[in-house]
Amino acid sequence: MSQISYKDAGVDIDAGNSFVENIKPLVKSTKIPGVIGGIGSFAGAFELPTGYKEPVMLAATDGVGTKLKLAIDSGIHNTVGIDLVAMCVNDLICNFGTPSFFLDYYATGKLDVEIATNVVAGIAEGCRQSECALIGGETAEMPGMYSEDDYDLAGFAVGVCEKSEMDRVSLVKAGHKLIALPSSGIHSNGFSLARKVLFDKMEMKLDDDFNGKPLIETLLTPTKIYVKTFKKLKEHIVALAHITGGGIVENLPRVLPEGMRAVVTESKVRNLPIYDLIGQHVAKDEMYRAFNMGVGMVLVVREEDVAFVLENSDGYEIGHIEAGEREAVLV
């Protein structure tokens, strides 16, 4: 009677081992003080940093959404890992957390060692930009669950903050200013709508020219990571809002106390050309709920700190905080 191997069932253990060997130098490149041990153990280890009076651990998890479909269709796999890290660490800093380490989960129908290595190369680059360590992950080869060409990603970031600095909402007051930090592009939200408009409605192709380069380059521009900017400006920031799904109008209220509203002057928002293109077929209100509209992060800043923040970042002023219903309004 013939014997069936795990490889016959669609899972290649040898490919998995080869992949681990490929990513060892990538993981090593993210090592920072605090990392204990190396890749290959059952769990990653990181020593709690010193210098905190009441250290609190923060954790954030996210994915990349249907932006992955564009990476798969285009064969460009070395940037979505940056997106994965960015979506997690940009959330951590909104609670004044400094990212310490990152873990990833990569699931696919059939492990392609080259593709998976390129994805992890992007994750490692995101970690270096975030000044945090990649200390572990999981690779799952699941034939029958995914098609051979598909893969999915999830990321997990852990950081530390001072307990007394966590609550930013209570610090937001009328008269504070709103500073926008520009996004690098669509980041990692709204791609289901973007794909529907660009490829179904407008019948565009990945390699169509857009602003002097293939459209796919604009679409796959990695999410901007704001960790270094946060570290530089921390003492001059009251609160931060990461502008992801829901846009400015739904994310900015998350840092507002009851009785305060954020007023954003729409004409001051520096839109991006890709949104002008998509906006030909999508109502403005829907655009502001689905996309970041060129704003990746909004900082709430005391008036006396505005000049410092503007001089030490690429930010620009878009509005203010005033008394009113807890909401973000465009005027």
**Considering its fold, how many domains does the chain have in total?**
2
Would you say how long the chain is, in residues? 331
Are residues 123 and 186 located together in one domain of the fold? no
DSSP letter assigned to residue 143: B
Distances 165 to 53, 134, 159, 176, 239 between C-alpha atoms, Å: 11, 26, 13, 18, 10
Q: Indicate whether 135 and 186 sit together in one domain.
A: no
Sheet strands (E) in 109-195: 133-141, 151-162, 177-182
Q: Is residue 220 part of a domain?
A: yes
Cα separation, 167 vs 278, in Å, equals: 37
Is residue 226 assigned to a domain? yes
Model pTM?
0.95
Q: Are residues 186 and 214 in the same domain?
A: yes
Spatial neighbors of 73 by CB under 8 A, at least 6 apart, are 206
What residues make up the domain containing 176?
Answer: 169-330
pLDDT tens-place values along the chain, 331 residues long? 677 766 756 676 778 788 888 888 888 899 999 999 777 778 888 998 888 999 999 999 999 999 999 999 999 999 999 999 999 999 999 999 999 999 999 999 999 999 999 999 999 999 999 999 999 999 999 988 888 889 999 999 999 999 999 999 999 999 999 999 999 999 999 999 999 999 999 999 999 999 999 999 999 999 999 999 999 999 999 999 999 999 999 999 999 999 999 999 999 999 999 999 999 999 999 999 999 999 999 999 999 999 999 999 999 999 999 999 999 999 9
Residues 279 and 182 in one domain: yes
Among 165, 197, 215, where does a domain finish?
Answer: 165
Which one of 137, 165, 193 terminates a domain?
165
Neighbouring residues of 6: CB distance < 8 A, sequence distance ≥ 6: 12, 13
pLDDT at 24: 87
Which of helix, strand or coil describes residue 140?
strand
For residue 140, which phi and psi values (nearest 5 degrees)?
-120, 120
pLDDT at residue 307, rounded to an integer: 97
CA 258-263-264 angle, to 5 degrees, is 140
Using the 3D structure, point to which of 146, 165, 184 is the last residue of a domain. Answer: 165
* 8 A C-beta contact, residue 69 and residue 192: no
CA distance 71 to 100: 28
The distance between the two most distant Cα atoms of the chain, rounded to a whole number of Å, is 81
Per-residue confidence (pLDDT) for residue 120, from 0 to 100: 96
d(CA 96, CA 163): 9
pLDDT for position 115? 95
Three-class DSSP category at 272: coil
Burial of 257 (0-12, 13-18, 19+ CB in 10 A): middle
Distance, in Å, from the CA atom of 136 to the CA atom of 26, rounded to the nearest integer, reads 12
Q: What are phi and psi of 188, to 5 degrees?
A: -135, 30
Amino acid found at 236: H
DSSP string, 73-90: HHT--SSHHHHHHHHHHH
CATH number at residue 241: 3.90.650.10
- Residue 39: per-residue pLDDT: 75
The two structure tokens encoding residue 284: 């403005």
Taking only Cα atoms into account, the Rg of the chain, rounded to an integer number of angstroms, comes to 21
Token duo for residue 240? 């931060």
Q: Which residue reads 């829901």 in tokens? A: 246
- CATH, residue 149: 3.30.1330.10
Distance CA 119, CA 26 (A): 11
Residue 2 lies in a domain: no
Residue 54: predicted pLDDT: 96
Question: How crowded is residue 145: how many other Cβ atoms within 10 Å of its Cβ?
Answer: 13
Nearest C-alpha neighbor of 94 from the set 212, 239, 273: 239
Residue with the two structure tokens 């253990």 = 13
